[in-house]
């Protein structure tokens, strides 16, 4: 039974080229979005502590919030300070520095919060922090629109370290900074070879992300350009056509030798297999689910975007942080919101027994970097 499910992941993670269509962050959501499956609702109830009706209402609200992000940002103009989905109200909130823009933003259907710093100013502060050499006790840093500052994550047990304190002091000079303590340092989620898993490269097992025209995308730390990729049965799938890690954590693999691609993410029996219809970016605060070969299907929330993650191998930039758990072997797997592809699993801390946080590399950056077309239904 396990082998059947893992075989299916390879097949549906890699199906042929018919029905290809271009997807980008500008694509509009499906006008006739399929009703959420019982399995997806059950996963959201389990992982997010929601009732069935609350899960259904949240999915509807998140779809609306995702659709109006562009118009709300345009209405805010140069005073835009970022945006996020508020699960409590079920609405998108937009930060602005100019109170005169509030009425225009509200007219789009979003709520408004007045702040001191624009998103451009915060991004500039983060870029200055990106130029610093971070010690291992600093886990990550990102722009948090809700805090209207750059949040620097420090491993709690390392907060008194001299190098950590020096880094934080330099970061504060770069712009508005808030320090947050984290339980553990982040690590990637690759794993040693285990029989019956989605794909191997060398002695490493990882997970397929999303099907693209001619192959699939996955995590860069799973293999180097030119490296051979094998399926669960040991047969050749293809090779890494491009790979970047650290600095980025993305890669893509071509498929051949009888393998092909389909626009599906495996639900592992927890939910029905998910059709992929595009890659519209979900806002901060939205629910999101992950599929991987080790821990299968889990859900959580989008916590932060454009975060720099300080792995032991080096920093990786422009990552999205989530409250979804993951474990070794889940690397490269799919992050999806509704029917919209979001990114590929990179790493994190914790596990799916005690909980943790996981980062993913956004899908649209990968598609743009390699000139790939997402395979959509």
Catalytic residues: 221, 249, 331
Q: Is the peptide bond before 246 cis (omega within 30 degrees of 0)?
A: yes
Compute the distance between CA of residue 324 and CA of residue 327 in angstroms, rounded to an integer.
Answer: 10
Compute the distance between CA of residue 24 and CA of residue 364 in angstroms, rounded to an integer.
Answer: 6
Total Cβ atoms within 10 A of residue 253: 30
174 φ/ψ angles, rounded to the nearest 5 degrees = -80, -20
C-alpha angle 299-271-49 in degrees, rounded to nearest 5 = 40
Contact in structure between 308 and 174 (CB atoms under 8 Å): no
**Which of 111, 108, 86 has the alpha carbon at shortest distance from 96?**
111
152 φ/ψ angles, rounded to the nearest 5 degrees = -105, 120
Q: Tell me how long the chain is.
A: 377
Compute the distance between CA of residue 366 and CA of residue 60 in angstroms, rounded to an integer.
Answer: 27
Number of H helices and E strands in the chain, helices first, is: 7, 23
Burial bucket for residue 123 (CB in 10 Å: 0-12, 13-18, 19+): middle
For 46-105, the three-class secondary structure string (H helix, E strand, C coil) is: HHHCCCHHHHHHHHHHHHHHHHHHHHHHHHHHHHEEEEEEECCCCEEEEEECCHHHHHHH
């Amino acid at each position: 039974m396990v082998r059947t499910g893992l075989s299916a992941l390879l097949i549906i993670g890699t199906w042929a080229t018919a029905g290809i269509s271009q997807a980008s962050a500008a694509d509009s959501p499906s006008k006739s979005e399929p009703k959420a499956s019982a399995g997806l609702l059950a996963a959201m109830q389990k992982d997010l502590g929601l009732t069935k009706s609350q899960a259904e209402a949240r999915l509807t609200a998140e779809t609306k919030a995702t659709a109006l992000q562009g118009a709300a940002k345009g209405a805010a103009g140069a005073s835009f300070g970022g945006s996020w989905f508020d699960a409590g109200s079920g609405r998108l909130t937009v930060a602005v520095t100019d109170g005169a823009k509030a009425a225009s933003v509200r007219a789009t259907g979003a709520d408004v919060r007045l702040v001191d710093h624009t998103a451009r100013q915060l991004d500039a502060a983060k870029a200055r922090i990106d130029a610093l050499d971070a010690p291992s006790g600093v886990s990550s840093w990102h722009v948090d629109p809700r805090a209207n500052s750059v949040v620097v994550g420090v491993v709690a047990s390392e907060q008194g370290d001299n190098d950590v304190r020096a880094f934080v002091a330099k970061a504060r000079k770069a712009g508005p900074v808030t320090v947050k303590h984290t339980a553990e340092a982040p690590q990637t989620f690759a794993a040693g070879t285990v029989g019956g898993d989605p794909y191997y490269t060398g002695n490493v097992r990882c997970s397929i992300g999303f099907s693209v025209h001619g192959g699939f995308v996955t995590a860069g730390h799973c293999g180097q350009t030119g490296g051979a990729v094998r399926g669960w049965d040991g047969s050749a799938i293809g090779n890494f056509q491009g790979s970047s890690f650290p600095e980025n954590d993305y890669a893509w693999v071509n498929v051949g030798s009888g393998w092909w691609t389909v626009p599906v993410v495996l639900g592992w029996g927890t939910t029905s297999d998910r059709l992929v219809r595009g890659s519209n970016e979900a806002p901060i605060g939205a629910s999101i689910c992950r599929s991987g070969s080790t821990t299968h299907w889990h859900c959580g929330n989008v916590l932060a975007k454009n975060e720099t993650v300080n792995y032991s191998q080096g920093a990786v930039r422009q990552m999205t942080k989530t409250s979804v758990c993951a474990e070794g072997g889940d690397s490269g797997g799919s992050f999806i919101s509704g029917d919209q592809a979001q990114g590929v699993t990179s790493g994190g801390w914790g596990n799916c027994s005690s909980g943790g946080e996981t980062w993913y590399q956004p899908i649209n950056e990968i598609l743009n970097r390699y000139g790939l077309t997402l395979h959509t239904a």
